[in-house]
């Protein structure tokens, strides 16, 4: 059993129309708000008008156009607005990209230099501006954690930022995800599953969080196809939204060895170079990484996954169950419409060496602590296996 800290100060406010409670939740935080969002979907869905009507009389400044794989330039703009107008809190409405960008802005609010510095060196993060979130996509778990992922196009870098940036409260209304299209629902499902795999498939686990992880995986595998088939199915959308919050918050890691999150590390390289959807990259990488990590020593972990998540026969041969579990994972991603090869999304091997070098330099974890220890060549081999 590894030592751990578990600290989850965000209040999750989950259910239909809980957005109506926002003014009460924010009332002691001031009335100068920076509303951050992505494209026009929050206008089409009515959330934008709802917020305007909930905050009549407040001063609302806006930063829209925050892109998927959010760029440091957007964050710089946000920080400028915050500093210029003395913003009291950020109201972030969107999925992981808007939330992640808002976290970097919250940290940048009290920092004198360029907000990218805070991505490169978390020790520079001091006081942060309060953030409230309204979630519109079940995927990254940013609504319930203290981290984000920011892209710097100038340097081809997509890097995590960690710090005192937990949202004060996150409104999670599954209805807001009814309009999420099938491909994004699927990519979100792959992201939740990948967060879980990065915690689950480590060398030292424990009974409690093995079970928590398996419950996460069963939840996504059961509900993602339903949500794709029936976008307005509240129960399915709700189960996915609930699961998304636990993927990245630390709960799934407690008492376990913390792995270097291999697929996340490599995916950040892919999307830094090619700006692909995070969940798509993960869905391609995950089964290849699993297969690459499978050996006599690691097989029992994959076999248990197969037994406890896919209901494989517990009396069958361990290696056979392990192989089946990996095949079923790949088949599931395919079933929900995700690509299974990098070549399908126009990526070739031209930057693989650069990616392997870069991820080893900047990533938070050492790949020698992965389920199967990985060196530079292993990382390249995994990327090649995805072609």
Q: Is 348 exposed, middle or buried (0-12, 13-18, 19+ CB in 10 A)?
A: exposed
Q: Is 49 in the site for a copy of itself (CB under 8 A)?
A: no
Place of tokens 């299974």: 340
User: Where is 107: in which H helix or E strand?
Assistant: helix 96-108
Closest CB 290 distance from a copy of itself, rounded Å? 21
Q: Can you tell me whether residue 289 is helix, strand or coil? A: helix
Q: Is 207 in the site for a copy of itself (CB under 8 A)?
A: yes
Characterize 273-311 residue by residue with b for buried, 16 or more Cβ atoms within 10 angstroms of its Cβ, and e for exposed.
beebbbbbbbbbbbbbbbbbbbeeebbebbbbbbbbbbe
Retrieve residue 119's tokens.
Answer: 């991505």
Closest CB 5 distance from a copy of itself, rounded Å? 6
Q: Which of 14, 55, 110, 162 binds a copy of itself (CB under 8 A)?
A: 14
Place of tokens 């509303």: 35
Q: Is 185 in the site for a copy of itself (CB under 8 A)?
A: no
Closest CB 324 distance from a copy of itself, rounded Å? 18
Between 234 and 364, CB nearer to a copy of itself: 234
Q: Is 50 in the site for a copy of itself (CB under 8 A)?
A: no
Which residues, 233 to 262, sit near a copy of itself by CB under 8 A? 234-235, 238-239, 242-243, 246, 251, 254-255
* Cα-based torsion angle of the residue sequence 365, 94, 65, 67 in order, rounded to the nearest 10 degrees: 30
Residue 252 contacts residue 199 (beta carbons within 8 Å): yes
Residues touching a copy of itself, count (CB under 8 A): 43
Phi and psi dihedrals of 93, rounded to 5? -120, 110
CA–CA dist 276, 295 (Å, integer):
31
Helices (H), 136-206: 182-200
Closest CB 130 distance from a copy of itself, rounded Å? 15
Closest CB 50 distance from a copy of itself, rounded Å? 17
CA–CA dist 307, 361 (Å, integer):
37
CA–CA dist 283, 224 (Å, integer):
14
Q: Is 23 in the site for a copy of itself (CB under 8 A)?
A: no
Closest CB 110 distance from a copy of itself, rounded Å? 19
Nearest to 239 by CA among 252, 259, 225: 225
Place of tokens 């029936």: 230
Retrieve residue 16's tokens.
Answer: 């239909």
CA–CA dist 58, 132 (Å, integer):
15
Q: Is 208 in the site for a copy of itself (CB under 8 A)?
A: yes
Q: Is 5 in the site for a copy of itself (CB under 8 A)?
A: yes
CA–CA dist 324, 221 (Å, integer):
16
Q: Is 223 in the site for a copy of itself (CB under 8 A)?
A: yes
Binding mask 292-311 for a copy of itself (x = CB under 8 A): -------------------x
Q: Which of 15, 39, 65, 181 binds a copy of itself (CB under 8 A)?
A: 15
Between 27 and 361, CB nearer to a copy of itself: 27
Closest CB 283 distance from a copy of itself, rounded Å? 21
Q: Which of 72, 90, 216, 330 binds a copy of itself (CB under 8 A)?
A: 216
Retrieve residue 230's tokens.
Answer: 């029936």
Between 158 and 195, CB nearer to a copy of itself: 195
Between 36 and 219, CB nearer to a copy of itself: 219
Q: Candidates 6-14, 42-50, 118-126, 290-298: pick the segment binding a copy of itself (CB under 8 A).
A: 6-14
Between 150 and 248, CB nearer to a copy of itself: 248
Q: Which residues bind a copy of itself (CB under 8 A)?
A: 1-9, 11-16, 18, 174, 206-212, 214-216, 218-219, 222-223, 234-235, 238-239, 242-243, 246, 251, 254-255, 311, 314
């Amino acid at each position: 059993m590894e030592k751990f800290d578990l600290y989850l100060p965000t209040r999750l406010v989950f259910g239909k129309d809980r957005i109506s409670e926002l003014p009460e939740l924010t009332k002691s935080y001031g009335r100068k708000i920076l509303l951050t969002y992505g494209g026009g979907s929050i206008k089409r869905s009515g959330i934008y008008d709802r917020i305007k009507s909930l905050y009549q009389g407040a001063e609302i400044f806006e930063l829209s156009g925050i892109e998927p794989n959010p760029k440091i330039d957007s964050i710089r703009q946000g920080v400028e607005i915050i500093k210029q107008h003395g913003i009291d809190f950020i109201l972030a409405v969107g999925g992981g990209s808007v939330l992640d960008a808002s976290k970097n802005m919250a940290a940048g609010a009290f920092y004198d230099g360029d907000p990218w510095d805070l991505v490169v060196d978390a020790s520079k993060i001091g006081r942060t501006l309060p953030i409230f979130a309204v979630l519109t996509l079940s995927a990254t778990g940013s609504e319930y954690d203290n981290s984000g992922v920011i892209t710097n196009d100038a340097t081809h870098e997509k890097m995590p930022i960690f710090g005192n940036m937990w949202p004060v409260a996150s409104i999670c209304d599954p209805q807001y995800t009814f309009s999420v299209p099938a491909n994004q629902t699927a990519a979100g499902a792959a992201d939740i599953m990948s967060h879980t795999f990065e915690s689950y498939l480590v060398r030292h686990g424990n009974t409690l969080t093995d079970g928590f992880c398996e419950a996460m995986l069963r939840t996504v595998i059961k509900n993602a196809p339903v949500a794709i088939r029936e976008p307005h199915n509240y129960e399915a959308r709700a189960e996915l939204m609930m699961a998304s919050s636990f993927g990245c918050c630390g709960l799934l890691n407690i008492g376990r060895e913390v792995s270097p999150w291999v697929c996340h590390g490599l995916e950040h390289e892919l999307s830094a170079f090619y700006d692909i959807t995070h969940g798509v990259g993960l869905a391609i990488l995950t089964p290849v990484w699993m297969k690459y990590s499978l050996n006599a020593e690691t097989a029992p972990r994959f076999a248990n996954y197969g037994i406890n998540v896919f209901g494989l026969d517990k009396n069958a041969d361990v290696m056979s169950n392990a192989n089946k579990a990996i095949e079923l994972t790949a088949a599931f991603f395919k079933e929900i419409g995700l690509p299974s090869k990098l070549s399908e999304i126009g990526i070739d091997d031209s930057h693989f060496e650069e990616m392997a070098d870069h991820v080893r330099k900047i990533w938070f974890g050492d790949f020698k602590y992965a389920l199967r220890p990985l060196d530079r060549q292993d990382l390249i081999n995994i990327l090649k296996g995805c072609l």
